């Protein structure tokens, strides 16, 4: 019975609130506008932050799963600066594949910017010298033709596998497999086109070209000095292997190979995909928190506007309040009336802000090619938070209205 009475009273207050808002329609619209803009800003900030996290996760997924990355850079994370240059060679790669437990494949790489040309066009792209293990480690497939093979590596063959973006720029809709192109003025034969991976964080993952690593060592201009130095090494592990343990084994092997003593700086850096995910989650979390904090300022301004308008409303409706009290309304009834009115006003503003945010997020995704998801929890949370803003900032005007003296209120003009 009490629950039914409470619901009935709440619906009555909502009806009174809607009537009061319609009476001062323009003022209500302008007041809700502040909350609408605040909710719009907060939802967009949340969506962009979530999109950044999704984009980073996609970028890491493009690298491959359950993988370690080795770079020829001194690891100064846990030590002081190093005067030595980084070290990483193909001999290290073979030792890792042979001696570290759980390794499924390795992908040593050389990287350089290269010029590709056909008689009608010339473009620049990122050239990667790879072995036959590259596709396995990085989950890279071919759409047309084939991938670089071990025979290509052994023969230092002048063959090339194009990313979809490169293939489209050079050949349009034509099948490039079997065609001849020039790589830095040297003729190569196209043997494959990679499956599309898309873009992430503004980087086109399909704007690449793969050649045998032995060919790249002969043809690419790099700053590597040794005859078998590497730009980086991807090491794929069995899904059942714990990356933390695998990294420890890998680091131990390389430290032994380079006679790194305790406390010395390693001439190599090893990172796992798990570490990249953890670091990216921290960075994007901070990024999102900063965006939401900045956007919340506009919501705070909207809340202050609600308080000001509700104080004006209490002053204008003093006689109404006195009349209701004279007819038997309790102080809490008056308080609840104004609280509900503020909550309804903010909820309407929040719903409009949500609608605009969803539309703006879709436009942003198409224009910037960057994910900006607005999930159901964010949508529901924005409406509830809008109502909470109304209750919080409408509290003081509501209490002030409930404390008016009925006699003095009735005397008010």
Count of all residues that appear for the chain in the document = 413
Residue 145: inside a domain: yes
Question: Is 185 a domain residue?
Answer: yes
Is 248 found in the same domain as 115?
yes
Are residue 116 and residue 253 in the same domain, yes or no? yes
Answer yes or no: do 115 and 261 share one domain: yes
The top-scoring range by mean pLDDT among 189-193, 216-220, 257-261 is 189-193
DSSP string of 245-293, one letter each residue:
HHHHHHHHHHHHHTTPPTTPPBSSEEEEHHHHHHHHHHHHHHHHHHHHH
Residues 252 and 294 in one domain: no
251-269: per-residue pLDDT in tens?
A: 999 999 988 888 788 889 9
pLDDT tens, 363-412? 988 887 778 888 888 888 888 888 888 888 888 888 888 887 776 666 66
Indicate whether 5 pLDDT > 60.
no
**What pLDDT is stored for residue 257 in this prediction?**
92
Please check whether residues 25 and 171 belong to one and the same domain.
Answer: no
> Within this chain, do residues 17 and 112 fall inside the same structural domain, yes or no?
no
In a domain, 274, yes or no: no
Residue 311 has pLDDT above 70, yes or no: yes
What is the arithmetic mean of pLDDT over 90-102?
92
Judge whether residue 1 has pLDDT over 50. no
Taking each helix axis from N to C end, the angle separating 25-63 and 2-23, rounded to the nearest 10 degrees, works out to: 110
User: Is the same domain home to 79 and 128?
Assistant: yes
- 312-361 confidence digits (pLDDT tens): 887 877 787 778 777 777 888 788 787 888 888 888 888 899 999 999 98
Between CA 113 and CA 129 the distance in angstroms is: 11
Q: What is the pTM of this model?
A: 0.69
The whole domain housing 152 covers 73-267
Share of the chain above pLDDT 90, in %: 32
Average model confidence (pLDDT) across the chain: 84
Task: Summarize the confidence of residues 149-175 as an average pLDDT.
Answer: 93
Check residues 28 and 146 and name the one with the higher pLDDT.
146
Which tokens hold the place of 53? 């996290």
Report CA-CA distances (Å) from 377 to 343, 374, 381.
Answer: 20, 8, 6
Of 93, 44, 56, the closest CA to residue 201 belongs to 56
Q: What is the pLDDT of residue 405?
A: 74
Q: Give the count of domains, the chain.
A: 2
Query: Residues 394, 339: one domain?
Result: yes
């Amino acid at each position: 019975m009490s629950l039914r009475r409470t619901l009935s009273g709440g619906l009555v207050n909502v009806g009174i609130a809607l009537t009061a808002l319609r009476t001062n329609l323009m003022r209500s619209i302008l007041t809700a506008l502040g909350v609408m803009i605040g909710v719009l800003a907060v939802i967009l900030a949340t969506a962009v932050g979530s999109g950044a996290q999704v984009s980073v996760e996609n970028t890491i997924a493009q690298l491959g799963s359950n993988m370690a990355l080795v770079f020829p850079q001194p690891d100064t994370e846990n030590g002081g600066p190093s005067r030595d240059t980084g070290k990483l060679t193909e001999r290290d790669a073979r030792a890792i594949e042979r001696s570290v437990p759980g390794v499924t494949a390795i992908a040593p790489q050389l990287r350089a910017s290269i010029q590709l040309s056909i008689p009608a066009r010339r473009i620049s792209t990122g050239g990667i010298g790879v072995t036959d293990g590259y596709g396995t480690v990085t989950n890279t497939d071919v759409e047309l033709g084939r991938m670089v093979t071990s025979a290509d590596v052994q023969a230092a063959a002048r063959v090339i596998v194009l990313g979809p973006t490169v293939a489209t720029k050079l050949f349009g809709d034509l099948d490039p497999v079997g065609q001849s192109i020039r790589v830095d003025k040297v003729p190569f034969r196209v043997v494959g086109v990679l499956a599309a991976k898309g873009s992430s964080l503004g980087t086109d993952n399909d704007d690449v070209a793969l050649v045998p690593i032995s060919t790249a060592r002969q043809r690419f201009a790099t700053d590597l000095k040794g005859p078998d130095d590497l730009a980086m090494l991807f090491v794929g592990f069995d899904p059942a292997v714990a990356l933390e343990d695998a990294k420890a084994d890998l680091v131990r092997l390389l430290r032994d190979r380079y006679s790194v003593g305790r406390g010395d700086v390693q001439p190599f850096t090893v990172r796992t995909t798990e570490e990249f995910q953890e670091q990216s989650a921290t960075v994007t979390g901070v990024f999102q928190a900063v965006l939401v904090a900045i956007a919340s300022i506009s919501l705070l301004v909207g809340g202050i506007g609600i308080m000001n308008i509700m104080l004006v409303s209490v002053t204008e409706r003093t006689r109404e309040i006195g009349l209701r009290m004279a007819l038997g309304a309790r102080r809490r009834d008056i308080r609840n009336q104004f609280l509900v009115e503020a909550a309804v006003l903010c909820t309407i503003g929040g719903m409009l802000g949500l609608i605009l945010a969803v539309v703006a997020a879709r436009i942003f995704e198409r224009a910037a090619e960057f994910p900006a998801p607005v999930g159901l929890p964010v949508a529901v949370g924005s409406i509830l938070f809008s109502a909470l803003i109304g209750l919080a900032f409408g509290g003081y005007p509501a209490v002030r209205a409930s404390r008016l003296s009925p006699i003095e209120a009735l005397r008010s003009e």
